[in-house]
Amino acid sequence: AQSVTQLGSHVSVSEGALVLLRCNYSSSVPPYLFWYVQYPNQGLQLLLKYTSAATLVKGINGFEAEFKKSETSFHLTKPSAHMSDAAEYFCAVSDQEDTGGFKTIFGAGTRLFVKA
């Protein structure tokens, strides 16, 4: 069964600094990897998705993630943090089941704080 680990429950950066949120998945390569963002009192918004078409995936709001099979990682980055990036970020792995459906497993989440 797939699993996903997010390193660091809290990350704090200064405005304008690099954002790096770490995510590692279990050893078997999943069909899909996602990053979602959750702002306070809201649902999950898709940031980006990996589907094996390209190892570097660009998402919304200036975020991107690189799939590294050798490291079983899918870390999320943004060159310059903005105050509006403060939120909870979830890495997720989706695998196809024998029934043809999909099951998604979520990491524990990383809360990003942005200091002025």
Partner 1 sequence: SAVISQKPSRDICQRGTSLTIQCQVDSQVTMMFWYRQQPGQSLTLIATANQGSEATYESGFVIDKFPISRPNLTFSTLTVSNMSPEDSSIYLCSVWDRPFTDTQYFGPGTRLTVL
Residues in Cβ contact with 64 at an 8 Å cutoff, skipping those fewer than 6 apart? 48, 56, 57, 58, 76, 77, 78
Does position 61 bind partner 1 by CB under 8 A? Answer: no
Tell me the window of 22-30, 53-61, 72-80, 95-103 that interacts with partner 1 (CB under 8 A): 95-103
Single residue of 3, 10, 12, 46 touching partner 1 by CB under 8 A:
46
Q: In 19-99, at which residue ranges do the beta strands (DSSP E only) sit?
A: 19-25, 32-38, 44-50, 56-58, 64-68, 73-78, 87-96
Does 40 interact with partner 1 (rule: CB under 8 A)? no
Closest approach, Cβ 7 to partner 1, in A, equals 14
Q: Which amino acid is at 39?
A: Y
- Site residues, partner 1 (CB under 8 A): 32, 34, 36, 41-46, 49, 51, 90, 92, 94, 101-104, 106-109
